[in-house]
Structure 1
Amino acid sequence: MGRSLDLRKRLYRHLGPLVRVLRGKKVLFSSRGHCLTCRRDVTFIATGPWLRDHLLCPDCGSKPRERALMRVLEMFFPDWAERVIHESSPIDRGASVRLGRECVRYIPSQLFGDMPLGEQRNGVRCEDLRQMTFADSSIDLHVTQDVMEHVFEPEKVFREIARTLKPGGAHVFTVPLVNKHRPSRTRAVVGTDRQVSHLLPPVYHGNPVSSDGALVTVDWGFDICRHIYEASGLFTQIVHIDDLSYGIRAEYIEVLVTVKPGSDDRKE
């Protein structure tokens, strides 16, 4: 009896996460690979056709875009765990969890409407990306995951990121480039009276700190690189990864890397 119970416990430890992901749903696609966010060999499972949301790691629940971001960090900045990383609007899975666990100088932030900028709540700093309280050249890596489609006045955000990055630092981020080759399109703006004006019918995505959701303010296209340059003077590279061995396959999972030149680069 004891050995049987022990066996069931061991099976649940290995299969429990998979059972929680499936929850009676039909598996439409599966692929064996290595998850970069929980660092385990797993079988990625998709229970729906939209792989961006449905191709999950059964152990950590990460999605393809989160694993793609982790892959780019390891490719471009293999020493990321030793750097000062600020992540705006982290989530409770995937890359956010690994960054928070392994980076000793990891700074998570959210924009809380009821507290001053720069203060902390439960270890999370209150920051507005348009007017961050970080000192000039104090951050090695800014990380945002599907945040930039929700910000008002993105040109201010891009300038603030450039101001606070150390020379040689970078903004590494995901944002759905839904307009692709078409010009980016503003969906909503905010006035000096803080009132929101909708230029297109409102669209909302999930919000980790509000049940009201997050309003989509911009439908970005590939011309986001030009917008970033015009606002900040920094160049941006778009990285697209399609690699099932890391569970990275879906639409709109490009990772963008905006780099602030180092002192040596600027001399050249």
Structure 2
Amino acid sequence: MNFRGICPSCNKEVVFRSRDSWLRDNFYCTNCYSIPRERALMLVIEKYYPNWKELKIHESSPETKGTSLKLKTYCSAYTASQYYNDAEPGKSINGFINQNLENQTFDDNCFDLVITQDVMEHVVNPEKAFAEIARTLKPGGAHIFTVPLVNKFQPTERWAVLDENSNIKFLKTPEYHGNPIDPKGSPVTMHWGFDIVDHIKSASGMDTEIIYMDDLHYGIRAEFIEVLVSRKLQ
């Protein structure tokens, strides 16, 4: 599949290309190599926060390309974090601040935007993570993120927990996704449905909008393409 259009992640006229029917991970921009969820995320950021370059942004587990690279390049107050569970919280490691989303060292009300891309299906205690994200957001700020809503209209399912020795214990068939800092990959802990908005509200008090896009002009076509915007009250 080839389609010519405008890439929101690099702002270039490009060819979007895929040799695989699973477009979510394979329909890439031939210039910046972004994939559909990255481009959808960038369009939402541009629409709701067109002044994002002047905002304080925290991105957890960023990519090295596409939308993450655009945010890092053009936002002067951009903070990137990764989670190294054997390192000191808050320490700078390889250009990243070591942060556990469930127990962050950032101050209250310090970010305008928090960005995550396909992270929240890997968090062991997402309720704590959503609460911590809300704590670190300024009033009126937002968590803008992608997460595969694989259960759709069915209830969310917890896929894995920690055992008494703090090791991952799968409740269902073991499932891993790629992790840029761990060759073993990241265990999937949640299979989210559209009821994620209720989980977020209960955990953090934030209201969440689910945005669906299908627009080949911007290279956006794939399964589980939703972008979520959770807003902290003013």
Pairwise same-fold verdict (TM > 0.5): yes
Give TM class, smaller chain. Answer: over 0.9
| 1:187 counterpart (159, 162, 172) | 159
The superposition leaves residues 185-244 of structure 1 with CA deviations (integer Å, 9 ceiling, x where unpaired) of 011011453132211011000001000000000000000000000111111000011111
**Superposition pairs of residues 45-194 of structure 1, within 5 angstroms:** 45-191=17-163, 193-194=165-166
Per-residue deviation, 1:113 = 2.4
CA distance in 1, matches of 2:221, 2:167: 39
Partner of 2:183: 211
CA distance in 1, matches of 2:67, 2:186: 20
Partner of 1:7: none
* Number of residue pairs the alignment of both structures matches: 234
Per-residue deviation, 1:53 = 1.2
CA distance in 2, matches of 1:193, 1:233: 31
User: What is the TM-score normalised by the length of structure 2?
Assistant: 0.98
CA distance in 1, matches of 2:21, 2:150: 18
CA distance in 2, matches of 1:181, 1:141: 28
Which letter does structure 2 place at the counterpart of 1:103?
Answer: C
Secondary structure at 1:118's aligned position in 2? coil
**Superposition pairs of residues 193-232 of structure 1, within 5 angstroms:** 193-232=165-204
Query: Any stretches of 5+ residues in structure 1 without a counterpart?
Result: 1-28, 263-268
Q: CA RMSD in A?
A: 0.9
User: Any runs of at least 4 consecutive aligned residues in structure 1 with deviations exceeding 4 A, and if so which?
Assistant: none
Q: Identify which of structures 1 and 2 has the higher relative contact order when contacts are C-alpha pairs closer than 8 Å and 6+ apart.
A: 2
User: What is the TM-score normalised by the length of structure 1?
Assistant: 0.86
Secondary structure at 2:68's aligned position in 1? helix
Which letter does structure 1 place at the counterpart of 2:134?
Answer: A
More helix by share: 1
Q: After alignment, is 122-131 or 191-200 more displaced?
A: 191-200
Partner of 1:44: 16
Secondary structure at 1:115's aligned position in 2? coil
Q: Percent identity over the alignment?
A: 51
CA distance in 1, matches of 2:200, 2:162: 20
Larger radius of gyration: 1
Partner of 1:22: none
